[in-house]
Structure 1
Amino acid sequence: MVVLVAGVLFAVVAVLVETCLPLLMALDWSVMSGMYTFGVANPELTAITQVWTDVLGPWPWRLAVGAVAAYLVWRGAVRQAAWALTAITAGGVLGWLVKIVTARPRPELPDPLSPALPDAAFPSGHAVAATIGAAIFVMLLRPRLSGPARALAWGIAAILAVSVAYTRVALAVHWLSDAVGGVLLGVLVLGVTTAAFARKPAPAPVS
């Protein structure tokens, strides 16, 4: 159900971005400009935000998932390793393809707070990677966690994903809808890949 909702919402946001809905454009500009003004006035917080977005950027997540996948293969959990690598890779590839299709410009400011890649804005690759990466670790640890611990783990994963998405807008390198779209795409990819790698039930014995 969560995956379906994420898919529908992502499609809606993508369509609104592609059609440049005035209401969405106004909201994006208002949020981004407000955060930019705050960032300029608070350079210390901006520096911390930059560190956070770098440490939890796409490549750190990819490398972390790759390392865990290698460990899983060593332990004989090849299926889990393949799922983790597929999920984090699919997120990056699909995010890149959507960027090509939408070709949405990033915010252009006279004095940028942070460097950004010269690619399209929608969706945020940082948000996609953080959402998928954090969830992968929770799902791999899930069998070892009790009920309360699982809830706490999912809460931490959600905070990581949302905080990374926030940094992209706070640093004025993405619009709010880019960050939201990135999180939604991450949830969608995670759900689809998890379903694809789910173990099929054993066939019923022949009577």
Structure 2
Amino acid sequence: MRHLTALRNLRDRRERRERRRQADRRYGARLLGAAGVAAVAAVAFGLLLTLVEGQWRPLARLDASAARDLHRYALGHREWTAALHLLSDRIWDPVTLRAAVAVLTGWLLYRRAWRLAAWAAVTAVAGGLIGLLAKTVVERARPALNDPVAHAPGYSFPSGHAMTATTSFAVLMLVLAPLLPRAWRIACWCVAVFSVLGVGFTRVALGVHWFSDVLGGWLLGLAVVALTTWAFEAWRADAGRRRTPVSRGLEPELTEATPEPGPRVR
């Protein structure tokens, strides 16, 4: 009997070790995936920047045709233009989105989710500063259109609206996802993606950005989010936190009254 019990205990230990190894491999794959996304986005942004600086003709024609066609439509449909202004300058405005992230960060501090609050703040601030630095370095002029329907200060590449939307909606979803039921989570991810794409469209449609500006903002914002997420996931691996897909949020422990670290995995 003792021999059978010892065999069962040995088998259970082996199964637990195997489950831990499998979990470690999956977690490592997610870390590598985040790093890969960041690398791809950064390389794509660098390539786009090279094409913009070199005034690559196919890209220049795409920028010019998109600006011209959307501007013509905006001039002929004032209600449509008013709706674009509402979305771009009020609902999806960078100030509004940054304020939402600031409120979320304050709530995380209240919940004592210190590292997640730091991740949210660093992602938002780093995105803003990197975007501003890129604008200053590139110094690309905004579209010059006859009878413009909107005006914006500063340089054009990359789009600050597009980059802020990318980082802000990513922060909001990656933090709040664990608190949402599965059906709501999917719907909210869809709304977030639609909003990020919608921000870019409004900026081109209003004639204050080239299409390539918006694409650059999306890529650079994605690179920032992927890099900070990779760093946060690496910390969770070191701390032995419970492993979950990133689509369910960065810290599932938020659903608990007082988040506590899980047992350290060895």
Q: TM-score range by the shorter chain?
A: over 0.9
SS class of match (2:238): coil
**Structure 2: distance between partners of 1:110 and 1:57:** 25
Conserved 8 A contact 1:135-1:154: no
1:151 aligns to 2:186 (yes or no): yes
TM-score normalised per structure 2: 0.73
Conserved 8 A contact 1:130-1:160: yes
SS class of match (1:67): helix
- Residue of structure 2 equivalent to 1:195: 230
The higher relative CO (CA closer than 8 Å, separation ≥ 6) is in 1
**Structure 2: distance between partners of 1:205 and 1:163:** 42
- Residue of structure 2 equivalent to 1:127: 162
Listed as ranges, the gaps of 5+ residues in structure 2 are 1-35, 241-263
Listed as ranges, the gaps of 5+ residues in structure 1 are none
Amino acid at match of 2:136: I
- Residue of structure 1 equivalent to 2:23: none
**Structure 2: distance between partners of 1:135 and 1:74:** 21
**Structure 2: distance between partners of 1:183 and 1:73:** 28
| Length, aligned pairs only | 205
- Residue of structure 1 equivalent to 2:173: 138
- Residue of structure 2 equivalent to 1:66: 102
What is the Cα deviation at residue 14 of structure 1?
1.1
**Structure 1: distance between partners of 2:206 and 2:189:** 26
Conserved 8 A contact 1:69-1:84: yes
Amino acid at match of 1:5: V
1:167 aligns to 2:202 (yes or no): yes
Map Cα deviations across residues 64-106 of structure 1 (whole Å, 9 max, x no partner): 1011101110110111111111111111111111111111110
Amino acid at match of 2:106: A
- Residue of structure 2 equivalent to 1:91: 127
TM-score normalised per structure 1: 0.92
Identity of aligned residues (%): 39
Quote the RMSD (CA, aligned, Å): 1.8
Map Cα deviations across residues 135-185 of structure 1 (whole Å, 9 max, x no partner): 111101222345544333222111010000110000000000001111111
User: Larger Rg: 1 or 2?
Assistant: 2
What is the Cα deviation at residue 49 of structure 1?
0.3
